[in-house]
Structure 1
Amino acid sequence: MNFSAMDHDDEVPASEKDEESISDDPPEIEGIEPETTGNSTWENKARQLMRQIVTQKVDLPISKLAAMIDDGEIDLAPTFQRRLRWTRSQQSRLIESVIMNVPIPPVFLGEYEPGKYLVLDGRQRLTALYEYLTGNFKLSGLEVWTELVGKKFSNLQKMHVQGLSSPAQAITRRFVPAVLILHESVPEVKYEVFDRLNTGGVIAEPMEVRNAIYYGPFNKLLHEASELEEFRRLWGIPLDTKGRERNGIYKRMADLEMVLRFFAFQDYKKFDGSLKVFLNNFMSKRNEEYTTNKTLLDKDHELFLETMKRVLFLLGDKALHRPISKDSVSKFPSAPYADAILYTVSKLSNEQITEKNGLKIRETLCNLCLNDKAFVKSITVGTNARTAADYRIETVVNAILVKQ
């Protein structure tokens, strides 16, 4: 990248949030508890603090921004970023701010290979600038430069004021401040940087952070698996686009987290009680494994699809809603309950996938949820504890697999 250097001190500034608004509606899933890293010993904490974050501060020239994105130097990665986006009015107000020379908060870019950058924070700002420069929308909702409402960038280029910069020049002569998290920084550090950038204003969900940091073939599989009709039916995610975009699970990428949990809990014995670390490590490791084991991706895809089909066949659309009486289930599906069901069903033999066995499994699960207080506790209270995870999975395994 051919950037001009910025003359600032070495402290990385906190980003002022200007990302998209997210409604206050919670994800429509039960049992998702805050992800913590668990207790750290002094030694572990010291090692964590000594990790190096290699950064560089630069100015991105707006005049060259579109070319940088088109050439792949900056990857906006729309598929792997937050799903909500600014309205055209919000994008227009950013353009108006640039014309007015209002300072733009810095964007943060993560170098995933030399000279190639993913947007860790500020994608909406860069997307708005890119789409306007490339003629994708007209300005709307302006409060100061109302004369420019309805104008595309090409229209601004034709406007000239003697002795003054044209509106188009007022945009292209500006710069966007940026902080580069260089390739030398380890992925875990990039995660923490992204996480801390999103502690104020609009808070990024844990899966949104992973989505930006653990960019690779496994992350791509998570997206593809989450689009399966069987999966969406089980989690109550609308199949139509408009309904899906209003769904709390989809908006916060909790659907991707549920796919990730399915694969991670296939090896639940490695869960040590820190869900954040467990899922992070699994995602990072799986990305690496896909590069060395060419058949693993196909096996994972087949296992996931087959399990979703089995669960629908055996237990129906409400399979992941925990029974609260003989005739009713919880309003939302339960993530901890799903951990146990999905793991167990994935281990059933083909001969066990019958309607008769489905009835037996439903009765068994209903009995556990209504009569086993320890099991109910493991899916409703302290669900991120290792003992809770072990208990709920092994209880369902023993009740369904062992007793068959």
Structure 2
Amino acid sequence: MNTTQDIAELQIIDKQKIVDFDIKEFTIELLVTKYLTGLDDDDNDIYIPTYQRKFVWNIDRQSKFIESVVLGLPIPYIFTADTGDGRLEIVDGSQRLRTLVSFISGKLKLKNLSILDNLNGYKYNNLLKSRQRKFNNTTIRMISLTDKSDDEVRFMMFERINTGSSILKDMEKRKGIYGGKFIDFVYNECAKHPLFVKNTTFTENMEKRGEPQELIIRFFAYSDRYTDVRTGVNEFLNDYTNSMNKSFNRNDLYKRFDRMLKFVDSNFPYGFSKTPNSNKTPRVRFDSISVGIHLALEKNPKLSVKNVDWIESEEFKSIITAGGQNAPKAIKNRIEFVRNQLLSLI
């Protein structure tokens, strides 16, 4: 009979078989060329997949990275995965690659450098030709999963690299780990719905971090399963996203989303915002209103209301500002408060 240690060892050996990688070393010039050549036709040798976040590094951070390269400081590995057709998909390192491209193309002007402060205000073309050559010939190391490793391993690597990062937010990790048809639907259709754009407000940083898409997934997940929340909300949303990627009815979801937005647009003067000058849409406010409306319309598709003055009531404010908003009871209370108000059940 196998001991528990034998079983554990067999599992380790089995899982190790699917993790196969190479270590590559490219010059910056070659790395940038492989990214840019064929970029417009999505045929570049090294590419950034749709699940990766947008370019979010600010100029200070980009400048400091370029300074590190010029100084010859150790640069973290770039992680890639061979997709089977010879192309390399960036799993981690897109911000570094984009920064190199921005600098070499002349878009990035260095600023706020403390060590090489004489380079402040410099662009790539301001460097001596000899320094440009040295910069281009600097090598960047890369760990690349071979095509023997499957999608599960690639996403597992993405998660392990980014879990716990103060830079990568929940929606960015969700997009990376659970990217699929449902995520594409949320990003490419729902987030671009004119009434969603009209009735929500986000800062530029919130847009980059995927906050609009976070709210949309919360709407679908809570409107389907808000009474099923048992663990942390992030885990709940991840499980929902994963299940929807496997099977979901696009038309039904879009109709639900569209119906809710039309009701908001017709009845809520500030949409999901607290005031006409708000620069962000609070999550708990969006959850309460959007899901409460959906539940009310499920009960009465022809629902008509005279006013929504209760949205400014102290009772509603206390419900959505109390502590522990991610607790199952708090989620249930705020959603059902809106539903009941709309149905005149209170």
Same fold (TM over 0.5): yes
In structure 1, the residue matched to 2:5 is none
Distance across 2 between alignment mates of 1:259 and 1:272:
20
Do 1:344 and 1:393's aligned partners in 2 also have CA atoms closer than 8 Å?
yes
What are the residue-to-residue correspondences of 1:80-95 with 2, within 5 Å? Answer: 80-82=52-54, 84-87=56-59, 91=62, 94-95=65-66
Deviation of 1:342 after TM superposition, in Å, equals: 0.9
| 8 Å Cα contact 1:52-1:185 kept in structure 2 | no
Cα RMSD for the two superposed structures: 4.1
- Counterpart Cα distance in 2 of 1:236 and 1:148: 34
Question: How far is the alpha carbon of 1:81 from its aligned partner?
Answer: 0.6
Q: Which residue is equivalent to 1:183?
A: 150
Taking a change above 3 Å as real, the CA distance of residues 52 and 370 of structure 1, as seen in their structure-2 partners, is farther
TM-score normalised by structure 1 residue count: 0.63
Q: Given the superposition, is the C-alpha separation of residues 144 and 60 from structure 1 closer, same or farther in structure 2, using an over 3 Å criterion?
A: farther
SS of the aligned residue for 2:302 comes to helix
Report matched runs for 1:3-402 at 5 Å.
52=15, 54=19, 56=21, 58-62=23-27, 63-69=29-35, 70=38, 71-77=43-49, 80-82=52-54, 84-87=56-59, 91=62, 94-109=65-80, 117-133=88-104, 135-137=105-107, 140-141=110-111, 143=116, 146=119, 149-152=122-125, 159=129, 166-180=130-144, 182-183=149-150, 185-186=152-153, 189-190=156-157, 192-196=159-163, 199=165, 202-224=166-188, 225-237=190-202, 244-245=203-204, 249-268=206-225, 269-289=227-247, 296-319=249-272, 321=274, 333-347=281-295, 348=297, 349-352=300-303, 354=304, 357-359=305-307, 362-365=308-311, 370-371=314-315, 376-377=318-319, 380-401=322-343
User: Shift in Å at residue 55 of structure 1?
Assistant: 6.2
SS, match of residue 79 in structure 2: strand
Name segments (4+ residues, structure 1) moved above 6 Å: 111-114, 328-332
- 2:80, 2:92 within 8 Å by CA — same for their partners in 1? yes
SS of 1:152 mapped into structure 2: helix
Distance 2:290 2:238 in 1: 20
Q: What's the offset of the Cα at 1:250? A: 2.5
Q: Is the 8 A contact 1:86 1:124 kept in 2?
A: no
Indicate how the Cα distance of structure 1 residues 287 and 112 shifts in structure 2: closer, same or farther if over 3 A, else same: farther
Percent identity, aligned pairs only, is 21
**C-alpha displacement of 1:384:** 1.4
- Gaps (5+ residues) in structure 2? 1-7
CA displacement at 1:173 relative to structure 2: 3.2
Deviation at 1:331, TM superposition (A): 9.4
Structure 2: which amino acid aligns with 1:65? L
State how far apart, in whole Å, the 2-side matches of 1:80 and 1:91 are. Answer: 18
1:272–1:90: structure 2 CA closer, same or farther, 3 Å change rule?
Answer: closer
SS for the counterpart of 1:171 is helix
The residue that corresponds to 1:241 in the other structure is: none
User: What are the Cα deviations for residues 240-268 of structure 1, in whole angstroms up to 9, with x where unaligned?
Assistant: xxxx52xx532432222111111111212
